Structure formats: C-alpha cells, structure tokens
Structure 1
Amino acid sequence: MSRSPFTDEIERTETPRKFISPHFTWFGGDEDPDRHLMHYQSAMTLYANNDALMCKIFATTIQGEVQDWLYTLPPCSIRNFDELSLVFTKEYLSYCSIKKRSNHFFSMKKDMNESFLTYVKRFKEKKVKIVGCDDSITCSAFRK
C-alpha cells in the first residue's frame, strides 16, 4: 500500500467534531479542474483557514483514476492546500475551459436553419465563457 502524499502533520490532523461535510460534485478527471476547485473552495469556505482539513476532505471529492493519481504523488510531498491545488490543476490542465474575450462574440452568426431560440441559447452559453463580459459589448454583438 502506498503512503499518503500528505505530510504527517496533515495526516495526524483530526476532523473537527462538529464538521459536516458539504455536498460536493465528484471530479472524475474529464472536467475543468479550476471549476472543481472553485466549487470545493466555496463549499468549504468556513474551513478555508484549515489547510489540513482542506487537503483531507479534497481527497474525498475525487474518484477513479484521479484518486489513483493522487496516491502516485511522492509520500509527504503535499504540505498545504495551495500545493495540492497547484499539482491538481497542472495534472488536469488539458481539461481547463478556454477563457474567451468579448471580441469572440462578434464572430458569432445565426445559422440559416437555426431557430432564433436556439441561437439565443447558444449565444448565452458563449457569454458564460467570456471573462469580464461587459453588457454593452454583449448587446452590440447580439444586435450585429
């Protein structure tokens, strides 16, 4: 059996008595790791200052090959949650969502056979993926 990638200090840390684990979505390796980390950190906001707990509970939010990957890390190599986040993101970087800029909107066009409703839905899906999307730019692009 392989040793834990967490330091002995993390491993020895007890879970607080009144700790109730929030509901987490599982990460199986084929999603955006940044999105998973954001979801995890927001769910664990009350415990954000407890690195040991953040590491130990994070290990319960991953499954399958990702869980296997975690235990291939060198023993005692993870000292805090920042280190864990960094190696996790690096490992699953290829699944990160590509952030787009507002000018991406201006290349969107409604297809001839596409309904207006379908186009609006597609437009909204693109809007969500654009960093710092300004409403005036969104309106201009939509009108175009």
Structure 2
Amino acid sequence: MTNLSRSPFTDEIEQEEPPREFSMPHFTSFKEDEDLERHLKHYQSAMILYRNNDALMCKIFATTLQEYSSYRSIKKKSDYLFDVKKNPNESLRDYVRRFKADKARIVGCSDSIASAAFQKGLPVDHPLFGKSIMKEDLTLADSFTLAEKHALWDEACQCTFKDLKKYSTSPP
C-alpha cells in the first residue's frame, strides 16, 4: 500500500515548485479510447510558456492522465503464467482455454516459457503431466494439441462411466 501513495517522480521533480505566475490551464483528462498523440499535442500547446520547465511539465501532464490510469489494466509479465494452475474440478479443456486467454494478455511471452508454465500448472497425477515431462522439445502448440487429445479422452471416459453407472443402477 505504501507504493500506491508514493509519487512516481524523482525527489528533484517532486520538490520543484511551480512558478508564482503559473495558472493551471484547463485540461480534459485523457481516456484510453482517445488519441494519445492528439492529447499530447493539446497539452504541449497549452503549456507552451512552460516548455523549458521539465519538472512542471511532468507534474502537470500526470494530472491529465488520471482518468486513463484508472481504466488501464495492470500489465502482467510472463512469470504470471507460473501461477496459473488447473483447478481440481476444472476440465482440461477449460484449463487450456483459460491458460491461452491469460497468455494472450501478456505481451512478449515466449512459447518456451509458456510451455513450461502450462506443464507446471497441471496436477502431477494427471496423465498429461507425465507425457509432457517425458517428451523432449515439446512446443507450446504441441502441448495444446496433446491437451486437446487428453480432453477428448477424458470426456469420452466420463460419458462411458456415466452410461455404465446409469445401466448398472437400473433394474433389469
């Protein structure tokens, strides 16, 4: 929580006071669906008298982004994927779908890291875990293909088990 209240600026910028004659121009806060380039040009033209005061330019510009910062999502890094685990009651197909969605939100995530994280997210007692450990040079695409085959197998077994259970409990 202490990091939330800390200023993003260096102490030098933070301690800089605005000039006495400074009057805050009116700015519309930037929204994430707007053109950032246009917002920046508007800001620079409104602050033209103070363009040589870097500290003031930084401080004031940050106030125009308040609305933007409340809407933007926190960017996740590749190591986040190592926290994605298959839940005990989750189907393999749903785990794959959720993992793919989480990976898609991470910019620059390599397939080798994602593949290792996908494997780590499987329960150790799941047959797919053993197969993925034993295969060398298993790409992420290969892991997903193998997972799809296992998902089909799991679903077929569940259907067969349900059918057997249904017929075994009904009287002849």
TM over 0.5: no
> Normalising TM by the smaller chain, what interval?
0.3 to 0.5
Query: Which has more radius of gyration?
Result: 2
Instruction: Flag the structure with more relative contact order, 1 or 2, with Cα contacts below 8 A and sequence separation at least 6.
Output: 1
